Structure formats: structure tokens, C-alpha cells
Amino acid sequence: MARSKPKLGRKARLKQGPVPTLDEFYQGLLDPRERPQQKDNKNASRKRKRKSEDNDLQRVKSKTQVPEFEKAKADLFEEDEKVDEHKPVKSENDFYAFGEEEEQFDFDEEEVEDRNESENESEEVYDSEEENEHGRTLFSDDEGDEGLLEAANERGLAKVFKGDSVHEDEENAEDEGEEDEFVNSDDDFEQNIDEDLEINVDSRVTNVLPSGQEVEAPLNVAPDIHISRTRIQEILNVLDDFNKYGEVGRSRSDYIAQLIADIANYYGYTEFLAAKLFELFSPREAIDFFEANEVPRPITIRTNTLKTRRRNLAQALVNRGVNLKPIGNWTKVGLQIFDSQVPIGATPEYLAGHYIIQAASSFLPVIALAPQENERVLDMAAAPGGKTTYISALMKNTGCVFANDANKARTKSLIANIHRLGCTNTVVCNYDAKEFPRVIGGFDRVLLDAPCSGTGVIAKDPSVKTSRNEKDFIDLPFLQKQLLLAAIDSVDTSSNTGGYIVYSTCSVTVDENEAVVDYALRKRPDIKLVETGLEFGVPGFTSFRGKEFNQKLSLTRRYYPHTYNVDGFFVAKFKKMKVVEQKENGNSKA
Ligand SMILES: C[S@@+](CC[C@H](N)C(=O)[O-])C[C@H]1O[C@@H](n2cnc3c(N)ncnc32)[C@H](O)[C@@H]1O
């Protein structure tokens, strides 16, 4: 019998309102490393106080309110004329050398040479900026999707003008009616949640896990998503206080195993991927993550400062009936679109190259790269060019940007964006980036926005839920490690202004991020991790499931949809050290 499809994705989308802007999240940032636990504790205590929260699967909600929205708009039009995205980057003086110990996915460079180059090429990997195969991507740099845009904006405006709030604190309890009014369009879901409330209270004193017979029975029966949904909440309650609520004879891992199976069933993931993503978080935060993957991210655009200023662009779009506001204090070029009377991907301003539709997370690696005027910069995996064109704008069309992509077909959209946005300092090339620096080297800065599994952009491409397997998380890191070494080797150590490499992915797995960075640090002793210069983001893991990484991995930054309402993303920044010859003993050191 066919496995029943989870319905939450569709329903959650109907229910979701606009999303808090990044600065709103940023205001409330705690020590990010502490966040999961603090959040859990906070949630746990709230859940004892408030029945409704006890059963809500942590939907993302907006705290945008009318006065705030108006104020943000007013600020936008008064904002400083100056547009300068260059951030000061803190330097690190200490250099870290690492042991030679290899990890599971490590490989020698000889091994890299031997490996079949056809593996893991562009078709196999995810591009955060690409329109997905189902044609549903809102964030394509090339096209806007009017239908989805309008639907999202309707929800956005509804929330904005209803003054909905993200905080479900006690003092805001009276807002619940308003919230309900908004979400009642999907009343069956709401009703089910109410039913769950009752079930969950009882579940604290009854058995949550299926009996042996129940476990055996479903082999030829589709798992019931309603049972899964209820049990997810029940298991979370048990895990909150396992000593009190755990069933005698059942271990914590029994509950975790059932929870992962239910997550996979309810949200429509393979159990393999559900487990892989689950292990990144505490159980409750994991549910926040899976829920956020059911909700589209805000529609955002980046002002092309080669052609206009953000306030002029905002004014022009407002005149056309677009409701918008700045994304947050961390960017002076981003705008969040709430609603539009016109297709945002076909306005005269769009066609004239005054902006590009670009996910907010996609700004981050370029901000970290901080390219300077008159530098030589390599964007190793550039298509369709969201980041290339931003680099070019930050360099004010000076110097030279080499925009490379291995996929020739994709270089068409890269070239189109470069033309539309008026980037005249850019050269497009079509190499396997592993061939750098043999093709050309000596760059001041290199961006490697690597091909990845796309586990950070599941809201945009739900096919990731079922298409990624164990082999992907061996093959992709293998490719990413090769590309990162090539990126490092392409940088000119004696660059006076730069010497930086930024590595980014739109994936949240450790295999594709910290493990890749840690590998590069061990393979190239002349590099060190430095501050990204990014104002927000969760520090990268310094250890994970028994693996120890370089402690400086805490300088890398992780982004999650449930935490910052941006695509899942990872950013690491390296500085390549000058090699000082030590003639006395013939050795050299960085
Ligand atoms: C995440 S996307 C890049 C998105 C791009 N940086 C942007 O902001 O628009 C990854 C890109 O890597 C390219 N790619 C995959 N394997 C590659 C390789 N070996 N060398 C160069 N590019 C590669 C893919 O074609 C894809 O365009």
C-alpha cells in the first residue's frame, strides 16, 4: 500500500503569516551556543504554564506590528545616503597547527586526483539560488513567481495589519484570539491540535511508545500521520522529564528512535535524513527546524548599488504598489517584500537591473568575503550569479571578478544577471573549479559557495526530503574538500589587501560544513579561521557526535530557518598566511 503523504506542509503554509525580520531576531540573541538548551528550558516552563503552547508544533510567527512596520518604512526613506557593506573584520593573530590524524572522510590529494571526476558534478548538487525542478522557487535570481509571491504577501500583509506577535508570553495571551482568527482558514488542523491537547495531557501518564504488537503490525499498512503527529508531541513531553514520564523498561533512545520515525512519517522525510537532521538539535529545537522547513522564507530583494540607492528603489517600488521594509540592520541593501500589486520579477526597475531577487542568507557569504575595490576576486561556483553581482557591486565595478561555474548551461543565467545588473568588472568562465589555480591563480579573495545537498533550503525544495541518501553525504563532502583546497591554493599569500577565502553552503549538515573546514585546516597549515564579520549566526560545532574539530570552528557561523528565518546556511572565513622563509634551517613557516 502506498505510504500516505504528510499534509502538514500544505496546511502549515496556509497558516503561516509573515516572518519576523532578521534584526528582530537579532535583538533577542542570546549566546547562540547556549540557545538550544535555554530555549528548551524556556519552552518547557512555558508549556507547564500554557496549555496552548504545550501542543503547538512551534510554528514560526511574526511579531511585526503596524507601528513598527510604518516606522521601518519611515526609517528607510530617511536612511543614510552612504551605502557601505564592508564590515571590519577582526583579525586573529594566533595560528593553529593540527595533527595529521585523518578522519573517516579524509583523503589524500593523490586520492583526489585518482577519483573519477564525473562524480558529484553540478547536476547532482543543490543550488540555493536555482529554480527547482518543480518550478516553485520563490527566490530564483532569474524569475519571480507571481502566484506564490502574491499568496505569501497576502499572508504577510494579513499578519502585519492584524498586529500579530511572535511572542506568546503571558502578557500577550489576549492575542491568541487574533491569532486563531488568522489561522482558522485551516480549521481542521486547529481542531486536531485541540484534540492533541487532551491526548497529550493524558499521555504523560500513559504509554506513549507502541507495544511490540503495534510495532509489528504496520509493516504492510501506511503509517498514520495523525498518530505520528500526536506521538511527536507526547514523546517531546516525555523527553522533557524522562525520569518522571519515561515508561519502565524503555530507554531514552527507544523514544528518540520512535520520534525520528514519526518525524520522517509526518513531515515526509526518509528516516535516514530525518535522523541526520534531528541529531543537530535538541528534540524540541529539531521540531522547530522541521516545522520551519514547512514554511516559505520571506521574499527579499537586494538593491543593486551599481545602479541605484535602496531608498530610491524602495520609493519607486512603493509607487508601484509594493509593500516592503528593510530586511534588518545588518544589511543596507536588502528589502523584504510583503505584498505587491505588480510582479516583482518584471517591474521596470527589475528589468533595468536596479535589484535582484535574492534570499537574505545569500548576502551573508559576500558580506563575510568583504571584497575591496581594485582587487582580483574569484567566485568559484558562481551561477546564477546572485553573489557574483553583489561582489561586483561592493567593488564598485573596479578590479576584476572571475565568475566560474562548471555547468555551462547555468552560465547563461549567470551572464544574463551580470548584464542586467551592469557588472562590467566581471569575467565568466566555465571550468571544473578543481582545476584552479592551474587555470588562473593569485587572487586577493576567493568565494567558494559550494555545491551541496540543500538541507538548508528544504522549504524551497521539499524533494530534498526524500532524494538525499547516505552516499550523498560521503560524495558531496569529498567534492567540497577538493574544491576548498583549490580555493585556498588560488589565493595570493602576498596580497596586500586580501588573502581571504570564504566557504559557504546552503546545507546544515556537519559533514558538508565543519568537517570540510576542519579537513582544510589540517591539509593547509598556512590558513587559519578568522571572524566572519557577520553580526549574527550560531557558532559552528567544535565537536560533534564524538568527533573533535579545531576549536576555532566556533568562528564559523550557522544559520537556521527556525532561528533567523533565513535559509539554512553555513559560512566560514579563512585567512591565508604569508609564508616566511627560514633560511637558517631550510624550513618555512606561516
Ligand atoms: C550553490 S550553487 C552556486 C550559487 C551561486 N554562488 C549564486 O550565488 O548564485 C553551486 C554551483 O556550483 C556549481 N558546481 C558544481 N560543481 C562544480 C565544480 N566542480 N566546479 C565549479 N562549479 C561547480 C553548480 O553548477 C552550481 O551552479
How large is the ipTM? 1.00
**With 50 as the cut, is the pLDDT of residue 325 above it?**
yes
CB-ligand 1 contact for 432 (6 Å cutoff):
yes
Q: For residue 508, report the distance from its CA to the centre of ligand 1, in Å.
A: 17
CB-ligand 1 contact for 365 (6 Å cutoff):
no
Tens digits of residue pLDDT in 219-265: 566 668 899 999 999 999 999 999 999 999 999 999 999 999 999 99
Angle between helices 271-278 and 252-267 (to 10 degrees): 120
**With 50 as the cut, is the pLDDT of residue 478 above it?**
yes
Distance CA 410, CA 127 (A): 11
The whole-number pLDDT of residue 99 equals 23
Distance CA 205, CA 299 (A): 44
Distance CA 79, CA 582 (A): 52
Output the nine-digit C-alpha cell for 553. 570552528
Is pLDDT larger for residue 126 or for residue 559? 559
Tens digits of residue pLDDT in 97-117: 222 222 233 344 434 444 433
Q: pLDDT-derived band of residue 588, with 50, 70 and 90 as boundaries? A: low
Question: 111, 396 in Cβ contact below 8 A?
Answer: no
Question: 192, 226 in Cβ contact below 8 A?
Answer: yes
Report the DSSP beta bridge partners of residue 501: 446, 574
The question of whether 506 is a catalytic residue gets the answer yes
Tens digits of residue pLDDT in 83-92: 344 433 333 2
State mean pLDDT over 449-460: 98
Q: For residue 517, report the distance from its CA to the centre of ligand 1, in Å.
A: 18
Distance CA 20, CA 235 (A): 29
Percent of the chain's residues with pLDDT above 90: 60
Q: pLDDT-derived band of residue 62, with 50, 70 and 90 as boundaries? A: very low
Is pLDDT larger for residue 239 or for residue 212? 239
Question: 433, 404 in Cβ contact below 8 A?
Answer: yes
Q: For residue 129, report the distance from its CA to the centre of ligand 1, in Å.
A: 10
What are the φ/ψ torsions at residue 3 (nearest 5 degrees)?
-70, 130
Residue by residue, DSSP assigns 313-355 as HHHHHHHTTEEEEE--TT-SSEEEEEEESS-TTSSHHHHTTSE
Measuring from atom 2 of ligand 1, which residue has the nearest CA?
127
The whole-number pLDDT of residue 212 equals 58
Distance CA 70, CA 241 (A): 44
- The model's pTM is 0.72
**DSSP 8-class letter at 203:** H
Distance CA 245, CA 56 (A): 20
Question: 393, 83 in Cβ contact below 8 A?
Answer: no
Is pLDDT larger for residue 441 or for residue 158? 441
Is pLDDT larger for residue 113 or for residue 565? 565
Question: 414, 399 in Cβ contact below 8 A?
Answer: no
- Residue 559's SS3 state is strand
Distance CA 191, CA 197 (A): 10
**With 60 as the cut, is the pLDDT of residue 313 above it?**
yes
Measuring from atom 11 of ligand 1, which residue has the nearest CA?
381
